[in-house]
Structure 1
């Protein structure tokens, strides 16, 4: 499904978008994920894309302006017994190209994800953000998100 918001087209990612997506993540020095445009790593991204594409509960999206990928995000649906067996949409890996920030792209992507969640009868939309991303925190709060939980991680690799 593709939706045009303002001058941005939001659509499901395609395999041919991978180089642009990898470049977006590799440019994020604050994230600390170790992403790289090194050709030797491309197979790792291709494998991950195949898993996401095959999953009925995960969707990878791109925001496109003209014919250029200018942003991306991923959604995941999870259902648990809490909340009377309700579903939650998790928004992950939100990125907008640095030189394109402040132009409504991030807002369009998040509004699109929320609309998708509502259309699926999801009870809750949640996301996490690196503790150092204070601008992103203000952005999410402007969109109606509330900080509510403290997250913990354990690196295994």
Structure 2
């Protein structure tokens, strides 16, 4: 499959929100009926303004087909290493099983390295067993237990 990666533009929001909502977890927490709702536009604009954020999309002839948000976090631990947090990793249903996700993550890690990151990390819901096996196949290690709290 021919895919190229680029920074997302506002016109990608409908495809991105559709990818975020395209599973049982996302369907319960996303407003996919209105992908241009003000909360999505505000969030996109905040990401776009922040020099430590990148929202990368994969694109083929049919449009955006993958997404990953990369957040660079300067830190003191690990000898002052910058961390790349990889979030909202999704591949459109029509492209799953075709290597797009692997190419997306390899591209995201290249972006992170080029930005000075020394470590990449991500979280994944416990229920996403297939995703966990995928991340481990790419070299990610399930080394920590994560905690979240709704604010």
TM-score category, normalised to shorter length: over 0.9
Q: Which residue of 2 aligns with 1:39?
A: 34
Q: TM-score, normalised by structure 2?
A: 0.93
- Judging changes above 3 Å, is the alpha-carbon distance between structure 1 residues 33 and 153 closer, same or farther for their aligned structure 2 residues? farther
Indicate conservation of the 8 Å contact 2:68/2:88, yes or no. yes
Which runs of 4 or more aligned residues in structure 1 lie more than 6 Å from their structure 2 counterparts after TM superposition? none
2:127 pairs, out of 129, 132, 141, with: 132
Matched, 1:105 2:100: yes
1:60 corresponds to 2:55: yes
Match of 1:143 among 127, 138, 141: 138
Q: Measure, in 2, the Cα distance between the counterparts of 1:54 and 1:28.
A: 29
- Secondary structure of the structure 2 residue equivalent to 1:123: strand
Q: TM-score, normalised by structure 1?
A: 0.90
Answer yes or no: is the 8 Å Cα contact 1:13–1:62 preserved in 2: yes
List gaps (5 residues or longer) in structure 2.
none
Query: What are structure 1's unaligned runs of at least 5 residues?
Result: 1-5
Number of residue pairs matched? 151
Note the C-alpha offset of 1:67.
3.8
**What displacement does 1:80 show?**
1.2
Determine which of 43, 51, 58 is the counterpart of 1:48: 43
Structure 1 partner of 2:67: 72
Using the alignment, how far apart are the partners of 2:3 and 2:12 within structure 1?
Answer: 16
Q: Secondary structure of the equivalent of 2:140? A: coil
SS of corresponding position for 1:38: coil
